Amino acid sequence: MDRFYFDVEDGKSERDEEGTELSGLAEVRHASVKLLGEELCERDRSFWDDPELKITVRDDNDLILLRLTVFGTTAPAGR
């Protein structure tokens, strides 16, 4: 098992210093999508104050393996 680090950015950065042991990239992808969903649920209405959320996953060598980004956009009709 390798250790992976899931950094969260939503206008401010939360660097993961602890990491999570996972078996490989497939499990990292699954965990990153799950974490993104959990982070969105935690923010629900406050997400729209700064409508961008990023999850960046690093390995033990600080190499970025993937990044998920969610942007919220309000159309002119919704303003």
Domain count, the chain: 1
Cα separation, 8 vs 42, whole angstroms: 13
Domain enclosing residue 7, as ranges: 2-73
Output 12 or 32, whichever has higher pLDDT: 32
Whether 69 maps to a domain, the answer reads yes
Whether 46 maps to a domain, the answer reads yes
Angle in degrees, CA 20, 17, 21, rounded to 5? 10
Whether 51 maps to a domain, the answer reads yes
Q: What is the pLDDT of residue 11?
A: 82
Whether 79 maps to a domain, the answer reads no
Output 10 or 33, whichever has higher pLDDT: 33
pLDDT digits (tens, 9 = 90+) for 13-58: 899 999 999 999 999 999 999 999 999 999 888 888 888 999 999 9
Cα separation, 49 vs 1, whole angstroms: 38
Q: What is the pLDDT of residue 20?
A: 97
CB of 39 within 8 A of CB of 9?
no
Q: What is the pLDDT of residue 53?
A: 95
